[in-house]
Structure 1
Amino acid sequence: MNLNKKAATKEKKKKKKLVKGGDDSKIANNKETSIIDKTLSDLSDEEEVLEGNGDKVETSAQHKKDLEKIRKADPEFYKFLQEQEADLLEFNESDEESENEEDEETPKSKEKMDQTGKPKLTIDKNTGRQVFDRNWYEYLEKGLNQEDVRHNNVKLAVAAFAACVARTGADVTPPQWIINDEKVFDAVVRVCFSDVGSLIYKLLGEKDVKTEEEDIGADQTKTKRGGKINFKHWRRYSKLAKEFLTSLLRFLNEIQSHTVILATLKTMIPLVDLYGQFAKLNRLLIKTVCRIWTRKTLDCRVIAFVLLNKIVKRDADVFAHVYKTMYLGFVSNARHVSSETWSLLQFMQRSFAEMSVLYPDIAYQYAFTYIRQIAIHLRNAQIGKKRKDLVQTVYNWQLMQCQYLWAQVVSKSYGTIGADALRELSYPLAQIVIATLKLFPSIRFLPLRFHCLSILIQLQVNCDIYVPTLALGCELLPDLLTLSQKKPRLGKGVVKQIDMDSQLRASAQQTEEAGWRQSIGDTLFRILLQASHVLSAHPSFPDVVLPITHKLRAFCKECRNPDFVRLYRSLLDKLTQHSNWTLSRLSSTTLDLQESTTLANAQERLTDPSSPVAQYHAQFSRVWKMRAAALQRNDSLQTKKEMKPKEVTPKKEEKEIEVTSTEKESMKTSQPANKSKVMKKKQSKRNGVKKPDSTLTDQVLDLNEMEWSD
């Protein structure tokens, strides 16, 4: 207050002097005021510079130094300041503290949005990390949707996705951010899947792929895409790309939902070139995708195979690693086969065959080695037939599925150019399958022998070679005749349909069931009909079928099962009709076995869908499809029943009628003296009487016939 009064009195004196001094005093005063304004502006500018640079020099000391400079340079002006503006000379540190307090209040008000326009930072109390909330997601989404790709926005997206990976439970170091909201988690994952991969490609720049052509034939060249791709800004943004690829791979290893697995695999397909830049990440990717190809649902396996196919086409050097990993994964998952997994195994066989013909020369080396391993197991089992453990090394699902697999590979090679080496494996593979068929001729292993015949038919059809499947199938007729001579002990009135595709051996109890025996007869009939249909268009059909008809006729005479007799007699009639039909077609032409053109023309004439065997096969094909559909429906209904929770039945005490103590005493007194005879009678009654239905709660039961429990 004293300072204000002094300033007011000084202002009054100043006005009086201006009135008395006239124009000269006005000019002098104007000069002095301009100097004061300039000095004050310079001081304020210096203070702003000090504040902007963040120097640690105190403002009060700097102010005193400036005033001392003014006193030495212009003593008259300094004297004028003492008279007119004493407040400037009497600088108080308390005023500085109050100004600092006001300056400290402004950042607190601006914490919600800083100078760059970023959202407010919040810290999680439990972990001490920054929380990535909805505001940050909106900021990230706006940044990623801009036309100009900015490194900071992509880096923020990669960091947010790392937080999503940590949320799934992956064993990683705690990231910078933490996501507590499930909706924010889903939104971040979606935006990273859709945008981050393409943005990383933009940051890296255009790619320059160097290709090397290798001549593998006169009419075909194959491009080998190996090594790393040259990106313009690889050194600058390679670390960011590696962080995102690593997080994406960890995310794929942790999730279990097949829809999320599909989305992740589809995101990885365009990023195959980036994974190829990092050898370790590429190997981990192959391992993870092969695991999905062998263990997940069918749609996940399809996308996984597409990804593996693209990896191999990009770099032929990783084909061997992919090929071995796929084969070992197939073998490890073929230990147990059911009707549900059969279709999945068939897809794996076809996709593995597709992979084999990409580089058939490399695939031949591994195919030869693995088929030779099967032959070694088979040889050891033949040497010691009496040892059951050696027989079990061959008679199991893994070895049988491997034979199915290599039959599919060899069959695929016959339609591929440049796969001559794989075609040469058809003969040794057929010999291995025939030896497996004849290794242990037991009735209990009839399903396994049917699988061997199916593999041989597959080789015969696809590889255009002759395999004596009809003769091998007729060798199983004595076993079927043995089964028909004995009456079944179980299930005489009910014939249950059995899926023979998911069986290798039968138990002793199953061989006594009528349903299993019926399935054996139907399956053998199906194999014989398929083998006949394969040879139906060949000119040698009458000669091949002649010994078969004799065996079928002898079987029909000795068989005691009327269903089998009726079924196989119809097959015998159709084979005889087709033989006569073939001879009538070939009677007007002369065949020369040394000329391939005449044989091809004769085969074209015999390829007629109206032939007896062709029509017969078409009729039963429709029947087999209907049975397969019915069996699949029954399996689905059974699985649904198993998945339903069991109904909780009330305890036995709740179902029984409560008995008072007086009633118990009356029951005791009413018992006869000879307890042993009465107990025998009651026991015989209990054995003959059905158990009471728990649903009939209102029904009154005889108390003497109830079994009381504590």
Structure 2
Amino acid sequence: MGTKDDIETDQMSAKKRGKKVKSKKAEAEEHEEQLKMGTKDDIEPDQMSAKKRGKKVKSKKAEAEEHEEQLKRLQETQADFYEYMKEHDEELLKFDAAEFQDDADVEADADTDVEDTEKQSVDETPKLEIAKKVNEQKTITAAMVDSWCKSIREDAKLGAVRSILRAYRTACHYGDDTGDDQSAKFSVMSSAVFNKIMIFVLSEMDGILRKLLRLPETGGMKDTIVEVTNTRPWKNYNHLVKSYLGNSLHVLNQMTDTGMITFTLRRLKHSSVFLSAFPSLSRKYIKVALHFWGTGTSAISVVSLLFLRDMCIRIGTDCIDDCIKGMYKAYVLNCQFVNAAKLQHISFLGNSVIEFLGTDISASYQHAFVFIRQLAMILREALNTKTKEAFRKVYQWKFIHCLELWTGAVCAYSKSELRPVAYPLAQIISGVARLVPTARYIPLRLRCVSMLNRIASSTGTFIPVSMLLMDMLDMKELNRPPSGGVGKGVDLRTLLKVSKPAVKTRAFQEACVYSVVEELVEHLSQWSYSVAFLELSFIPTIRLRSFYKTTKAERFRKEMKQLISQIEANSDFVNKKRASINFVPNEPAAKFFLEDDKKAGKSPLSQYAKIIRQRAQQRNESLVESDVIVGENSAVFGKNAPSSDEEEDEADRIEKGAAAFSSSWLPGSDSKEKEVEEEKIKKKKRKRKSKTEQKKQDEEGGAEDDVVEDFVLSSDEEEDDLFDIGGDNDEDDDATDEIADAETKTSTKNSKKVKGTYKTWHKNYKKTKKKKPRAA
């Protein structure tokens, strides 16, 4: 009987199990059908009902409030223990139940804002309606954006903040090759909605994040962020900060419009302090800002510079080191070649670097020492090897502009830690000026003399530049009558070397002689109040008289006569004052000699220097046909530069609702593709134009205008590659004959003799080989 009962019970259990298996299979089949219809995203949120979620929120809130009441009662029940906790761990007593209230609002708001379209049951809708519903869910409308913005401004709902950041991420990644991602909340938007999202987030997200993290409304340093990272708000909301900064970086890499980039960088500058918590993002932002600074127009370059400067002030030394290295590399890459228009842009970049060095002088000194030492090693290689390639490494625009950059830095911070760098820098400049003493390199020597005069004026030290100038006047090319005719006007500011035909022209002689006079007057006027002026000016005066006697050009004789008379008048001015003093020139009192007259500028040479400067300015302006510009707009620091008030007005106009982010930028649009094609055509035209200009410049011996395009700063790039000349197109077959000294000339003669003897030996060997009879 027992076995029969057992069998019956087994059969019953089997039937029950069969029913369960069938029900599970049915559920699985229904679930697969729902997935095929694309309703997975609609079903998953409904698996947890609103009632259950409401209970969880209430339980968390109740527990938090109960714990807070226990802490308050602790002071009454156990006063001694409360005092002990207050002394040793006061943070445990500062419990705030409002934080749990925020977490509850996040879930409740997220349900109401994002999932309003998921209320209907999936089983009751047909397939076509479900597909339509999915598309509507992924489309961001203007009403949705307005509701999120209203919730943030009026109720400060965190759910709306998260929703607008999701939409911001979609806007920043719009058009990326992500494929058909069904899990994405949003994927479609119009140009007007795109503009609304970008302007709202960039304008107000910084203030929203600061309120959530309990930070000041503006400003802040790295220390404040380090303190905040240990708090509970940072653990709850740091992913929002990272999402905002990361998506903004992505959209900056995709932008091409000047106004959009300028507006984005200006707004992100307020949030630069947050980058101290994310070092990898900080380095990427530095790279992007350096790209815009080195290759952009005037507006983008200025905004990028301000962004980098604000980052370095708030973050500290690590950021400063990366910025100085990157800016120096970008500056060198822009200094390949120079003309009148490019010169102003290079000057702007150099002034930007010099201003940036002032943020941290001690860190700047370390980089200045390394980079100046690198220039000295290149010069030493040229002096030792005396080869064509070694000379070309020194006599190129990159090297000369680097010298001018550090000259400007020493002059700007001559009373700081950069002052010790002045001596080795002056030695390098003097060595470069004396490296190739030929007439074709007079423009380069004049630039070196100008740099030495600036260093001497800023540091108050005497540098003997008069001999460099007098050696130029003794060159035969300036003493002979011009055999090449009048010639074209020569702008020595845009040249390092002139062609052979240009050296023989009258225009070149006049430009050189007048430039030598200008630099000599500048040098002597600096010491026109010195006790030893008579001794300083004695040798230059003798050599000027020698040039006055040898030259046959009446215009040069008149110029020399006037300069000599001014030097003699200044000597009489100083000697009259010197006759009434009692101290020796090496005493400290000599520094204050004629100090009042120096402030008033009463010396004859000081007054003559003003006239010479005006004449030089008029001559330079006559050589330039049009105004010098930076990129597409006028010079940033010139008269047409926009003021800060105008920039703020433009920013306010954009914040009030103007379309800063136009629909033409949206990836995937036809207009963007057209812009890319037009840009490619422009680049091809520039390359063709640069090749033709290069041929003309090679024939004339001048330099071409090389525009550095699409500058991307590589972190793996070494400093030694900055002066690699492999890519330069400044070929000159006669360069070896001009820049070689006596030793190289003798070596070439000896090599020619050896070559000739080898040829004669080879001919004789052939003759003897022909006469030799064949072996039997």
Band of TM-score, shorter chain = 0.5 to 0.7
Instruction: Report matched runs for 1:485-496 at 5 Å.
Output: 485-492=480-487, 496=489
1:494-643 → structure 2 map (5 Å cutoff) = 496=489, 498-634=490-626
Instruction: Provide closer, same or farther for how the CA distance between residues 289 and 608 of structure 1 changes in structure 2, counting only shifts above 3 A.
Output: same
Equivalent position of 1:446 in the other structure: 442
| Change in 2 beyond 3 A, CA 1:585/1:135 | same
1:676 match: none
Contact 1:591 1:599 in 2 (8 A): no
Secondary structure in structure 2 of the residue aligned to 1:425: helix
The answer as to 2:158 corresponding to 1:136 is: no
Query: Quick one: which amino acid aligns to residue 432 of structure 2?
Result: T
1:116-195 equivalences under 5 Å are: 130-144=138-152, 146-167=153-174, 176-178=185-187, 181-195=190-204
Within the alignment, does 1:458 sit opposite 2:459 as a pair? no
Q: Deviations over 1:474-501 (max 9, x none)?
A: 221123x523514242545xx53x4322
CA 1:626/1:228 → structure 2, altered by over 3 Å: closer, same or farther? farther
8 A Cα contact 2:207 2:217, kept in partner: no
Higher helix proportion (structure 1 or 2): 2
Q: Identify if the C-alpha distance between structure 1 residues 126 and 630 changes in structure 2 by more than 3 Å, giving closer, same or farther.
A: farther
Of structures 1 and 2, the larger Rg is shown by: 1
Partner of 1:346: 347
Compared CA separation, residues 193 and 54, structure 1 to 2 (3 A) = closer
Shift in alpha-carbon separation, 1:564–1:159, aligned structure 2, 3 A: farther
Residue 153 of structure 1: how far off its partner (Å): 2.3
Could you say what secondary structure the match of 2:340 adopts?
Answer: coil
Partners of 1:251 and 1:362 in 2: how far apart? 32
Cα deviation for residue 522 of structure 1 reads: 2.6
Which stretches in structure 2 are left out of the alignment for 5+ residues?
A: 1-47, 52-113, 120-128, 633-681, 686-776
Q: TM-score, normalised by structure 2?
A: 0.60
Q: Give 2:470's aligned residue.
A: 474
Quote the residue 1:409 is aligned against: 409
Q: What is the one-letter code of the residue matched to 1:463? A: T
Counterpart of 1:550 in 2: which secondary structure? helix
Q: How far apart are the structure 1 equivalents of 2:497 and 2:514?
A: 16
Q: How many Å separate the matches in 1 of 2:305 and 2:130?
A: 43
Cα deviation 1:506-555 (Å, max 9, x = unaligned):
12233244433332233222211211221222222221111111111111
The question of whether the paired residues in 2 share the 8 Å contact of 1:436 and 1:452 is answered with yes
* Structure 1 contact 410–423 (Cα < 8 Å) conserved: yes
CA distance 1:331–1:262, change in 2 (3 Å) = same
**Matched residue, 2:243:** 243
Q: Which residue of 2 aligns with 1:286?
A: 286
C-alpha spacing 1:633/1:160, structure 2 compared with 1 (3 Å): farther
Q: Structure 1: which amino acid aligns with 2:264?
A: T
Matched, 1:383 2:384: yes
Question: CA 1:252–1:561 in 2, change beyond 3 Å: closer, same or farther?
Answer: farther
Cross-structure match for 2:32:
none
SS at the partner of 2:375?
Answer: helix
SS in 2 for 1:233: helix
* Alpha-carbon separation, structure 1, partners of 2:447 and 2:135: 59
Contact 2:439 2:472 in 1 (8 A): no
* Cα distance, 1:179 vs structure 2: 5.3
CA contact (8 A) 1:608 1:614 kept: no
- The separation in 2 between residues aligned to 1:206 and 1:318, in whole angstroms, is 22
> Mean Cα displacement is larger for which, 267-276 or 247-256?
247-256
Question: How far did residue 605 of structure 1 move?
Answer: 3.5
| Counterparts of 1:263 and 1:124, CA distance in 2 | 37
Closer/same/farther in 2, CA of residues 608 and 112 from structure 1, 3 Å limit:
closer
Letter paired with 2:305? F
Q: After TM superposition, give the deviation of residue 556 of structure 1 in Å.
A: 1.8
SS of the aligned residue for 1:199 comes to helix
* Letter matched to residue 292 of structure 2: I
The separation in 2 between residues aligned to 1:507 and 1:405, in whole angstroms, is 27
**1-side partners of 2:559 and 2:408: how far apart?**
31
2: CA distance, partners of 1:368 / 1:555 = 41
Partner of 1:265: 265
- Kept in 2, the 8 Å contact 1:592–1:599? The answer is no
Cα distance in 1 between the residues matched to 2:278 and 2:245: 10
Task: Please say if residues 482 and 505 of structure 2, whose CA atoms lie closer than 8 Å, have aligned partners that are also in contact.
Answer: no
1:307 aligns with 2:307: yes
1:427 match: 423
Look up the match of 1:102.
none
Give the Cα separation in 2 of the matches to 1:540 and 1:123: 94
Secondary structure at 1:525 match in 2: helix
User: What stretches of structure 1 of length at least 5 have no aligned partner?
Assistant: 1-51, 56-110, 213-222, 646-710
Which residue number corresponds to residue 74 of structure 1?
none
Give the equivalent residue in structure 2 for 1:82.
Answer: none
Q: What residue number does 2:751 align with?
A: none
> Does the CA contact (< 8 Å) of 1:246 and 1:281 recur in 2?
yes
Paired residues of 1:123 and 1:131 also in contact (CA < 8 A): no
Change (3 A) 1:463 1:448: same
TM-score (norm 1): 0.65
> How many Å apart are 1:455 and its aligned residue?
1.1
